[in-house]
Amino acid sequence: MEKFLVLQAARFGDLVQSKRLVLTLQTQGQVHLAVDESLETLARLLYPDAVIHPLFLHGHDEARAMAANRPAFAALRALRPDAVYNCNFSGLTGAICRLFAPERVIGYRPAPASEGGLLRSPWARLAFQLSRGRRPSPLNLVDFWAWFAPSPLAPERVNPVARPGGQGLGVALAGREARRSLPSPVLASVIQTLSGLLGGPRIVLLGSAAERPAAHRLLRLLPPRMTRQVEDLSGKTDWRGLADAVTGLDVLVTPDTGVMHLAAHLGVPTLAFFLSSAWCHETGPYGLGHSVWQACPACAPCLESAPCPRNVACLDAFRDEHFPRLLARAWAAPDAGAAPALPAGLQCWQSGLDALGATLRLSAGEDADGRLRRSARALLAEWLGLPPGAVADAAPDTPETAGELRRLRELLLPDSEWMLPQGRYA
C-alpha cells in the first residue's frame, strides 16, 4: 500500500479545506497528515482514517520548537512516503520537506541549497498567477490543493449536500481578521431577520474565548424575547464540542471562518458574509446548499494587512436600512432572476459544483468580472485535461473567447508547461 504525507501547517479553516486532497489520497493508500499540535484533536475528528502527526509549528520559540520536533521529524523520515504533499508556501514546511528526496515532494519543494527558497509546481505556479488578479479568481482553495493529486475525488463526494437539521440558528461571532466580520449592530439585524424567517428558533453563539465580548455586545442588541432563545457557547467548547454544536443546525450565519468550513464538512447550510479581504470564489463554503453575500466595491478584495483608506466602505451595503428586506427576499427566492435587485457593490451567490470543483452561481447583483472568470476557469479545465463541457460555467466557445484564452495562456505559462499533465510535476 502506498503511503502519502500531507503537510498542512496553516490554521483551522485550511485544515478543513484540505479535505478533497486527503480523501483523494485515501482512495489510493494510507495518508499521514502533519499539523500544528493545537489542531491534533480537530484533525482526528475530520480525518479518522488518517495517521496524524502533531508538530510544534505556531507560537513557539524557533530553537525550542526545533528541539521538540526532532522525534516527530525522525518519525516522518522513517515513513519513507511515496509522495509528500506540501500545501504551504512556507519556509517552515519547506525545511521539513528536506527530510525527503526532492522528486517525492509535490506542491512546494525546497530549491537547491545554492539557490535557497521554494519552487512551485507548474499547477501551483499557474494558480498563483491567476490569483494575482483576485476579482476574476476562478479557483476555490479546496480544489487548488486537491489538484496537487492526479484525478482528485469527485467534488460531490467531498461534503454532504447541506440541509437544515432542526437544531436552530448558529452564529459564528467573528473571524480571526476583525475587518472580515460583521460588526455587532449589523449582525444583530441579520439575526433578527433570520429568526423571523425561521419562526423564532434556538440561537447558538459560537466562537473562542476572544469572542466573548462580541457575544455580550450582541446580546445587548437583541430584543429580550430573542435573548431567551440564545445559548452562548463562546469560549465554552473544545474541538469536539464545537463540532457537536454545529451538527444539525438549520443554518450557520458566518463570516469567512473555520467554523463555516466545518459546517460545510458536516452538511450544515451556511449563510456567509464576505467583505474586506475575503473573496468567496477563493474560500467560499464547499458543496451544495450554501449562500454567500459578497461585498464587492471597486477596492475589493483588499489586503487585510494594509490599512483601509475608505473606512471599510464594503460594510456600507450591509449597514443600509434596506438590507434586511433584501436578505429576506433573497432567502425566499434564491434562484437567479427571482431574487431582488441589489445595490451596486453587493452580490448574492449560491454554491455549486462541476468537474473542476466548487463554483458559484450569481442569484442577485451584478458581476463585472464574470466573463474573465469564466475564461480563466476554462483555461484551468483545459490545462488539467478535463473533457469539453466538464466545467459548467466556462465561457461560450466563440472566437473572442478563444482569443482571450490564448492571451491568458501566453501570459501565465510558457508553451512547454502546457505539455505536462496536472500539478504532480514540480
Instruction: Identify whether 145 is part of a domain.
Output: no
- Regarding whether 292 and 180 lie in a shared domain, the answer is yes
Instruction: Identify whether 249 is part of a domain.
Output: yes
Instruction: Identify whether 394 is part of a domain.
Output: yes
Which bin fits 277, alpha (ψ -120 to 50), beta or left (φ > 0)? alpha
Spatial distance between the Cα atoms of 47 and 302, rounded to a whole number of angstroms: 33
Instruction: Identify whether 369 is part of a domain.
Output: no
- Regarding whether 339 and 410 lie in a shared domain, the answer is no
Q: What pLDDT is attached to residue 371?
A: 85
Q: What pLDDT is attached to residue 423?
A: 41
- Regarding whether 126 and 109 lie in a shared domain, the answer is no
- Regarding whether 302 and 278 lie in a shared domain, the answer is yes
Instruction: Identify whether 161 is part of a domain.
Output: no
Instruction: Identify whether 182 is part of a domain.
Output: yes
Instruction: Identify whether 163 is part of a domain.
Output: no
Instruction: Identify whether 240 is part of a domain.
Output: yes
**C-alpha cell, 219:** 446580546
- Regarding whether 131 and 97 lie in a shared domain, the answer is no
CATH number, position 18 = 3.40.50.2000
Q: Give me the amino acid identity at 365.
A: G
Residue 110: phi and psi, rounded to 5, are -65, 140
**Domain end point (choices 334, 364, 394):** 364
- Regarding whether 422 and 412 lie in a shared domain, the answer is yes
User: Which of 25, 14, 9, 171 minimizes the C-alpha distance to 86?
Assistant: 9
Q: What pLDDT is attached to residue 19?
A: 98
Range of the domain at 339: 169-364
User: Which of 55, 71, 49, 72 minimizes the C-alpha distance to 1?
Assistant: 49
- Regarding whether 37 and 175 lie in a shared domain, the answer is no
**Domain end point (choices 57, 85, 120):** 120
How would you write the pLDDT of the chain (426 residues) with one tens digit per residue?
Answer: 899 999 999 999 999 999 999 999 999 999 999 999 999 999 999 999 999 999 998 877 767 777 889 999 999 999 999 999 999 998 889 989 999 999 999 999 998 877 778 899 888 988 888 777 788 889 999 999 999 998 999 999 999 999 999 999 999 998 766 788 999 999 999 999 999 999 999 999 999 999 999 999 999 999 999 999 999 999 999 999 999 999 999 999 999 999 999 999 999 999 999 999 999 999 999 999 999 999 999 888 988 778 887 878 889 999 999 999 999 999 988 775 666 789 889 999 999 999 999 999 999 999 998 888 888 888 888 889 998 888 865 555 666 666 666 666 665 655 444 444 444 333
- Regarding whether 338 and 214 lie in a shared domain, the answer is yes
Residue 56: phi and psi, rounded to 5, are -90, 100
207 with 187: CB under 8 angstroms?
no
Instruction: Please report, in angstroms and rounded to a whole number, the separation of the first and last CA atoms in the chain.
Output: 23
Q: What pLDDT is attached to residue 407?
A: 63
**Domain end point (choices 364, 383, 408):** 364
- Regarding whether 335 and 205 lie in a shared domain, the answer is yes
User: Which of 283, 130, 73 minimizes the C-alpha distance to 120?
Assistant: 130
115 with 142: CB under 8 angstroms?
no
Q: How many domains, in total, are found in the chain?
A: 3
134 with 282: CB under 8 angstroms?
yes
Q: What pLDDT is attached to residue 422?
A: 43
- Regarding whether 360 and 288 lie in a shared domain, the answer is yes
Q: Looking at beta carbons, which pairs linking 370-377 to residues 24 or more positions away fall under 8 Å?
A: 371/395, 372/136, 372/404, 373/136, 373/137, 373/138, 373/281, 374/138, 375/401, 375/404, 375/405, 375/408, 376/130, 376/136, 376/137, 376/138, 376/408, 377/138, 377/139
- Regarding whether 349 and 221 lie in a shared domain, the answer is yes
- Regarding whether 420 and 381 lie in a shared domain, the answer is yes
User: Which of 237, 238, 280 minimizes the C-alpha distance to 257?
Assistant: 280
